[in-house]
């Protein structure tokens, strides 16, 4: 299983944004929407072996996290507006209590009250990889590809303290190249490397 965790530092955990102007009304939900496409969608198909976690830390609402399960999701379309609509609908549902964990919003899409702390238990069986340009080159890295979790920042990177916390949990810094890329491009390169190493993972379900 591949898991991608994308931390949106300013993304408001609220459905109260304009689909006609996603970047400036949502705290950059557009970055998360494009990351969903890169993490879960390939040409005319969904990656059934992948989860995407979208951590929304923006004020004024409390943090919430949307989880999309590629094995269960239906009707995910690749355009940014459609993916943002999926996120908007999930965020419009009543806020679950923090103790409830992830609650289904629709098939394959679940929402939890809370930030990275509600994601970490789901990564417990995974090797953790922290994506950053100065990390170990993914081309030469030994990866535990069958159960791997990749944590990425948004256009602002990771919030203060999270990098250190993940390193403390044993995360390996991993690079997809020397240049700082957009989050969704880094995700695509991780998938590409894993696909090349295990072409059987590319067999349509
Ligand atoms: C646009 S970059 C963040 C740039 C931000 N100004 C910073 O200094 O962290 C978005 C995210 O994509 C990932 N990323 C970007 N380029 C990468 C690279 N070359 N290797 C690994 N991860 C990368 C990182 O997780 C990063 O937080």
Q: pLDDT tens, 157-192?
A: 999 999 999 999 999 999 999 999 999 999 999 999
* CA gap 128, 174 in Å, rounded: 10
Tokens (6 digits) for 189: 């390169």
Dist. CA 182 → ligand 1 center (Å): 6
Which atom of ligand 1 is the closest one to the Cα of 180? 16
Q: Quick check: pTM over 0.85?
A: yes
Residues with CB under 6 A from ligand 1: 131-133, 152-153, 155-158, 175-177, 179-183, 186
Q: Closest Cα to residue 11, out of 103, 162, 115, 165?
A: 115
Residue that is written with structure tokens 């919430």 in the block: 64
The residues, any chain, with a CB within 8 Å of residue 160's CB and separated by 6 or more, are none
Q: Does position 96 have pLDDT exceeding 90, yes or no?
A: no
Atom 4, ligand 1: which residue's CA is nearest?
157
The pLDDT value given to residue 60: 64
Dist. CA 132 → ligand 1 center (Å): 5
* CA gap 103, 97 in Å, rounded: 10
Q: Does position 100 have pLDDT exceeding 90, yes or no?
A: no
Task: Give the mean model confidence (pLDDT) for residues 121-144.
Answer: 97
Tokens (6 digits) for 99: 């103790």
Of 4 and 145, the structure prediction assigns the larger pLDDT to 4
* CA gap 146, 198 in Å, rounded: 10
Dist. CA 46 → ligand 1 center (Å): 24
Contact 66, 111 (CB under 8 A): yes
Distance, CA of 153 to chain centre: 9
Q: Closest Cα to residue 49, out of 1, 101, 104?
A: 1
The pLDDT value given to residue 199: 80
Task: Give the mean model confidence (pLDDT) for residues 2-19.
Answer: 96
Give residue-wise pLDDT tens across range 29-76: 999 999 999 999 999 999 999 999 999 999 767 899 999 999 999 889
Dist. CA 179 → ligand 1 center (Å): 8
């Amino acid at each position: 299983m591949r898991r991608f965790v994308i931390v949106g530092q300013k993304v408001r955990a609220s459905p109260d944004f304009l689909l006609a102007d996603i970047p400036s009304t949502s705290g950059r939900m557009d970055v998360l929407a494009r990351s969903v496409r890169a993490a879960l969608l390939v040409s005319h198909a969904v990656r059934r072996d992948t989860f995407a976690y979208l951590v929304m830390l923006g004020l004024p609402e409390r943090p919430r996290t949307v989880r999309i399960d590629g094995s269960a999701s239906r009707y995910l379309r690749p355009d940014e507006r459609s993916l943002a609509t999926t996120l908007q609908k999930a965020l419009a549902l009543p806020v679950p209590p923090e103790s409830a964990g992830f609650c289904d919003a629709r098939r394959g899409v679940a929402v939890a009250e809370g930030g990275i702390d509600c994601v970490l238990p789901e990564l417990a069986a995974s090797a953790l990889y922290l994506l950053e340009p100065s990390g170990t080159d993914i081309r030469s890295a030994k990866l535990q590809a069958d159960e791997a979790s990749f944590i990425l920042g948004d256009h602002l990177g990771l919030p203060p303290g999270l990098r250190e916390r993940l390193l403390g949990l044993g995360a390996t810094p991993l690079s997809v190249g020397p240049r700082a890329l957009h989050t969704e491009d880094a995700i695509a390169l991780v998938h590409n490397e894993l696909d090349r190493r295990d072409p059987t993972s590319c067999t349509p379900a």
